[in-house]
Amino acid sequence: MAASRLIDPVRGRVASAYTAGPRLDDVIAVCKSLATYGVTSAIGYWGDPDESARAVADVHLAAINRLSAEQMDCYVSIKLSRLGFDAGLFAELASAATRSNVRLHVDALGPESVDATLRLLEGVPRTGRLGTTLPGRWHRSVDDTARIIELGLAVRVVKGQWLDDGPKRIDPSEGFLGIVDRLSGHQGGVAVATHDVRLLTESLRHLTESGTPCESELFFGLPFRGPAIAAWRLGVPVRVYVAYGASGPPFSVKELRRKPVAWWWFMQDVLLGKDKMWRSVRRARPQL
């Protein structure tokens, strides 16, 4: 009990560095603050895993309606597993997003979920702005790119969190660049979502030179200054994905063991909490 009283405040401070807070008002406030620095946003709800699919859908409907009322350059990102891959609920959200002129984006889950995800995306009218995510570490992603281009979807390219069960592991950076290459000329929009400055710069240069509409997308709380400056120097806008709802860092204890840099992030989180992100944003803008 005593140990918990000591650890819980530290855990809460670390978590606060990566999420806006529990409520929709919290994430809207963060997005408005980012906009004052010329940074657009995307919001993702991290809710209680025991919430019903209907309750999760209602949370996203409220977010869509709020963004429409605020007229912000911000989109709503969703994990279809939270909807139970329910086609009716997804169609309801897609319809609301179309009416509100708010983009609805589908996050990546595991590679086994891709076919179900694409079926749901194909099953709704493509009159609104829809998007999905392609992870570089999956064998199937390069081939899936053609299907996504045909659907006219916006694309977020990531290295990927979940491993592919294929016979040979793909280097996530090489896979990332392979997807970017396939997306050359895609007019639906490409978000390069990585904090790896070298990879981000190479990807954005390729896309801008091919006339592909693109942006850099970063995660709230992770290193901002280096990748943001790299994007801005190439004339590419920066968007930040901001989570709200349940809190927690986007890295695990295993990553702390594997990546020494994660310990540096962790110590900054303990010392600075949410102010870590805002210090980085304030330091980035004057460099241009």
Tell me, yes or no, whether 260 lies in a domain.
no
**pLDDT tens across 171-221, in order?**
889 999 999 999 999 999 999 999 999 999 999 999 999 999 999 999 998
Average pLDDT, the chain: 86
- Asked whether residue 186 is domain-assigned, the answer is yes
Q: What was the pLDDT predicted at 2?
A: 43
Is the residue at 161 inside a domain? Answer: yes
Question: Between these two residues, 285 and 137, which has the higher pLDDT value?
Answer: 137
pLDDT computed for residue 161 by the predictor: 72
Q: Let me know if residue 118 belongs to a domain.
A: yes
Contact 206, 183 (CB under 8 A): no
Q: How far apart are CA 71 and CA 10, in angstroms?
A: 36
Residue span of the structural domain in which 140 resides: 23-249
Q: pTM score, two decimals?
A: 0.87
- φ, ψ for residue 163, nearest 5 deg: -75, 155
pLDDT at 285 (0 to 100):
72
The structure tokens 């891959």 sit at 85
Q: d(Cα 104, Cα 259) in Å, to the nearest integer?
A: 33
Cα gap 224→94, rounded to integer Å: 31
Confidence of residue 1 (pLDDT cuts 50, 70, 90): very low
Q: Count of domains in the chain?
A: 1
In a domain, 267, yes or no: no
In a domain, 271, yes or no: no
Neighbouring C-beta atoms of residue 247, cutoff 10 Å: 18
CATH label of the domain that carries residue 95: 3.20.20.220
Per residue in 66-124, pLDDT tens?
999 999 999 999 999 999 999 999 999 999 999 999 999 999 988 889 999 999 999 99
Q: What is the pLDDT of residue 168?
A: 73
Asked if residue 261 is part of any domain, the answer here is no
- In the structure, what pLDDT confidence band is assigned to residue 169 with cuts at 50, 70 and 90? confident
pLDDT interval class at 38 (50, 70, 90): very high
